[in-house]
Amino acid sequence: QYTGPSYQKTEHVKSEHLPPAVYNIYQRPLLLHQGRMQWLYDHEGKQYLDLFGGIVTVSVGHCHPKVVGALQDQINTLWHCTNIYRHPKIYEYVEQLVSKLPGDLKVVYLVNSGTEANDLATLLAKAYTGNLDVVSLQSSYHGYSSALMGLTATQSYRMKLPVPPGFYHTMLPDPYRGIWGGCRDSLSQVPGACACPGDCVTADKYVNQLNELLENSIPKGRLAALFAESIQGVNGTVQFPKGYLKKAHQLVKKYGGLYVADEVQTGFGRTGDAFWGFQNHGVLPDIVTMAKGIGNGFPMAAVVTTKEIAAAHAGTTYFNTFGGNPMAGAVGQAVLDVIEEEELQNNCKVTGKYFIEQLMQLQKIHPVIGDVRGKGLMLGFEFVVPGTKEPLAVTDVNAIHEDMKDMGVLIGRGGRWSNVMRIKPPMCINRQDVDFTVSVLDQAIKNYLRNKK
Ligand code: PMP
């Protein structure tokens, strides 16, 4: 039973006391008050299938009993910061987390958000290389802070202020909208979509463009790092041509920079074939940042790097009041356990494949769906003017999107024109949930087409 403020009251408080730029994706925003695994409930008790919880951090399921239990046990035992004292949970947790990472990625910094993780990664890369310039991909999102306003390249999140110095953006290798087209990496889920025998030829074109930037724009010997996700999330599930990340990494190394993999959205088994998104691309980063799914909704995040890079901190003190608190350790451990016990990575692979196949079937009936893409349970599709790549008008997309919500399915939005539907559910969804979604999407498109006449 909902006992909180009325919907009207929340409207009033929002307009009076919350910042005007708060992210909102519905005309009539939801007032949620309960969650259970892949399901959410609003103040009127209406149930929704949550296909966007993964972006808002829920990886193993809303209020997963094991995670809740671990947190409750810890809350009843000790809350304290751990930077000055030791606590068993953190020691157990970092060992468990590191066992999931390849190579020499052995040192964990526990922090509280993705923004903080990428900020620290920037600092580490600069301190280790002694260089100041950082490159990210066009339209990327890596966090919201004054320092990261330059790393984050997507325009809608950038205020009309000068970007801090030392950030450069390289061309986005987008196979659907990029100027050179191209195949998507690791397209095991989209049959026949990648015809290249080896790396995609367009990957070289985008890598050459990065080379131009490193050669001609960045003062020689000043490159600290390249930041990239393995599938761009906020910008609408953009996958890169096969071979791009591997070659970009090699190039960056040649110029003395580090490669930072932002796994905030793609980590923890979400892409199905691998625990980390970068593993699908055959690259080994120097630094990995992670957040969101790491805590299934609990505010925690991490930066993992090598001992050599972490040594850049030697001689100074690293302090973070809440980073690595005992509750984060307990939650982090429970999340890793659940992913393993419930075989959620495999579920991402199997259910994700089924999902993308069903979406592609629907695309054949509805040409308003212009592109279907993604991997595991990180999927996306674009609404376009049929027969073209022109993004469907935002008001039209809003209508379909709102209708889906009214029929009980919550789905994400993204991309430059907000015409990409993003699917990042809790990793426990099943085939029935996919069937339900596809029938709701089908109905919402039919309703839209009928109303449009
Ligand atoms: N990196 C990526 C790829 C993200 O998607 C986000 C959040 N959308 C962040 C970093 C920042 O995370 P946070 O909101 O926890 O600061």
pTM given for the model: 0.96
Residue 286 dihedral angles phi and psi, to the nearest 5°: -90, -30
Low-confidence ranges of the chain (pLDDT < 70): 54, 56, 82, 185-195
Q: Read off the CATH number of the domain in which 398 is found.
A: 3.90.1150.10
- What is the predicted ipTM? 0.99
Q: Provide Rg for the chain, Cα atoms.
A: 22
Do 163 and 232 fall within a single domain?
Answer: yes
Looking at 341, 369, 389, the residue that finishes a domain is 341
Q: How far is the CA of 145 from the centre of ligand 1 (A)?
A: 11
Give pLDDT, residue 423.
97
The end-to-end CA distance of the chain, in Å, is 41
Asked if residue 235 and residue 298 are part of one domain, the reply reads yes
Return the best residue to mutate from 264, 303, 424 for the ligand 1 pocket (most ligand atoms within 8 A of CB).
264
What is the structure's pLDDT at 266?
Answer: 96
Domain termination site, one of 341, 356, 391: 341
Identify the bridge partners of residue 121 per DSSP, sorted by sequence position: none
69: tokens are 């239990």
- Provide the domain count of the chain: 2
User: What pLDDT was estimated at residue 192?
Assistant: 52
pLDDT in the model for residue 188: 46
State the residue range of the domain holding 435: 7-51+343-452
Atom of ligand 1 nearest to the CA of 299: 15
The answer on 96 and 187 residing in a single domain is yes
Cα–Cα distance for residue pair 229/231, rounded to 1 Å: 5
Ligand 1 center to 261 CA (angstroms)? 13
Q: Could you identify the atom of ligand 1 that is nearest to the CA of residue 301?
A: 15
Question: Do residues 117 and 291 touch, judged by C-beta distance below 8 A?
Answer: yes
Mark whether 300 and 437 lie in a shared domain. Answer: no
252, 223 Cβ separation under 8 angstroms: yes
Residue 61 lies in a domain: no
